[in-house]
Amino acid sequence: MSAQPTILLLDDDQDFLDLYREMLGQHLPSMPEVRIANSGSRALSILESEQFNLLIADLNMPKMDGLQVLTIARRKFPHLRLVVLTGIRDEQFRTRAYGLGVDQYWLKPETDQEMGLFMESMESLISRESQEGFRGVQSKSLVDIIQLECLSQSSCILKITNGLTEARIFIQSGEVIDAELPGLTSEPAFQRILAWKTGSFETLPADPSRVRTIFSSYQGLLLNTAQAIDEAASVEVPPPSTNDGDSVPAPAQNNRAAAILAEVSQMEGVEFVLAVGADKGRTQEFWGLDNPKPISEFTKETLENFRSLGDRLHVGELQQVLGIGLQHKVAVAPCGPADLCVGFPPAVSSDHVRDSFKNILSKWAS
Amino acid sequence: MGLLSRLFGSSEPALVHLPAGSFTVDKDGEVITSTLPQSFPAGHRDAIGQQVLASFRSAKRAHMPLTEITVQYSALKLQARELGGGAIVFLMPQTLDQHSPVKIKKSP
């Protein structure tokens, strides 16, 4: 990527393109090179041939609308920053755009103040290289975010989302006082949350009535957690269940997955668990199944079908599929590099299935 | 011809708004009834019906027949109930407000 940042601006209104090319190219401090495209297909073709830091796209365009372009761009160019700039004031489109993974959703500025905020925000986006980390604060790890909040003596709640799982870290006057995620609270929850490598977070107002359950200083807490993560990574556990012969045997590096399966199998109401890897051999880890092959096929087909449907409808990430039958209740979801399927007895309530599955996804994501 | 095309030609496809509503399909995927607005493309509706039926069939092949499937996307919830080989499907668009009722603190 060259030193001068590059922006691709997509809109079907030529006057708008001309105006914003000048605004962004001449008034942003980083003086980016701004290219323009007046159709989705043209934009994608330019993205194929050149590297960009940022794509700013309108939504309402003929032939190929903005959601279609963003879907393709997010998949093909995962490090490209995406911004929607539209005149559509509609909560549904905002939700769908964020579901597709855009970084920011802007209504076309109508005042100088709004234009100023937009320009500042674009400068902030293009002045940072894309990195793994938590969206919400660019290029920061969760440890960085906690340290920042604690150093500034903040009182707030950090709400962290990793796929379907929501967690909260409670900070009071610069100290971490509690943490929670489905099925866990206090330090164990804090350790689990810090093991997440990606996610998104929001800062919520503090809850002064929250009871303190963590009494270590935040420095000690972070140190203990780092040690616990290191120790967990080095633990050797017995090999997982055998495969049915059609799949590649589970390799040694999947010991961690086997340990999680063992833990999940102890959860109330869980009848069976199956994790199917996305690798070529579709490595399987399972518990509670004599023959995992049919369930594995169901998991694969269901997630593939609904993923492709989601892409067609532009409704964002497929989060989970819950099924109810006379013999089982079943929950299926993509979780990192694996697809998970968990079976429950039919008598268990759907709420219990949802809560347990969230808990399982959270363990798996950690 | 140009004028006629302009007057009677099909309008450019606009951005599709996801509607709330339901439809029923038979075992072949043919739509029997629908409360979805006509602005929602029939192709999208048919694709939803077909994928839902495919999942019911897939579950049956796995010896785990299902009577109801709920599919959760970031911006849409689909709920489908099996109806004698066909299905009734409910579309429920989701918004960010529904996901996180707590307001985000504004920076000073």
Tell me the pLDDT tens digit for each residue of A232-246.
655 444 444 444 444
Cβ proximity of A171 and A156 under 8 Å? yes
Q: Which domains does chain B have, with CATH numbers?
A: 2-105 (3.30.450.30)
In this complex, do B73 and A317 lie within 8 Å of one another by their Cβ atoms?
A: yes
Please give the CATH architecture assigned to the domain spanning A255-365: 2-Layer Sandwich (3.30)
CA dist A179 and A168 (Å) reads 6
pTM: 0.69
Contacts of B55 in chain A (CB under 8 A): 301-302, 305-306, 321, 323
ipTM of predicted assembly, 2 dp: 0.82
Q: Quick one: fold of A1-129?
A: Rossmann fold (3.40.50)
- Sheet strands side by side (includes A54-57): A33-37, A6-10, A54-57, A81-86, A104-107
CA dist A46 and A35 (Å) reads 9
CA dist A100 and B33 (Å) reads 31
HSE toward the beta carbon, residue A327, CA cutoff 13 A: 8
- pLDDT tens-digit series, residues A301-360: 999 999 999 999 999 889 999 999 999 999 999 887 789 999 999 999 999 999 889 888
- Residue ranges of domains in chain A: 1-129, 137-234, 255-365
Per-residue pLDDT of chain A (366 residues; tens, 9 = 90+): 457 899 999 999 999 999 999 999 999 999 999 999 999 999 999 999 999 999 999 999 988 899 999 999 988 898 899 999 999 888 899 989 988 889 899 999 999 999 999 999 899 888 765 444 455 444 457 777 788 788 777 788 888 877 667 788 999 888 899 998 877 888 888 888 887 766 677 777 788 888 888 888 887 888 877 777 666 655 444 444 444 444 444 443 466 777 777 788 888 889 999 988 866 666 678 888 888 999 999 999 999 999 999 999 999 889 999 999 999 999 999 887 789 999 999 999 999 999 889 888 887 776
Beta strands in A111-267 (DSSP E): 134-135, 156-162, 165-172, 175-181, 184-185, 199-205
Distance from CA of A3 to the nearest CA of B (A): 31
In this complex, do B75 and A316 lie within 8 Å of one another by their Cβ atoms?
A: yes
Q: Which of A159, A316, A325 sits opposite B65 (nearest CB)?
A: A325
Residue A200 pairs in a beta bridge with: A135, A161
Can you read off the two tokens belonging to residue A31? Answer: 């003086």
- DSSP characters for A220-246? HHHHHHHHHHHHHHH------PPP-SS
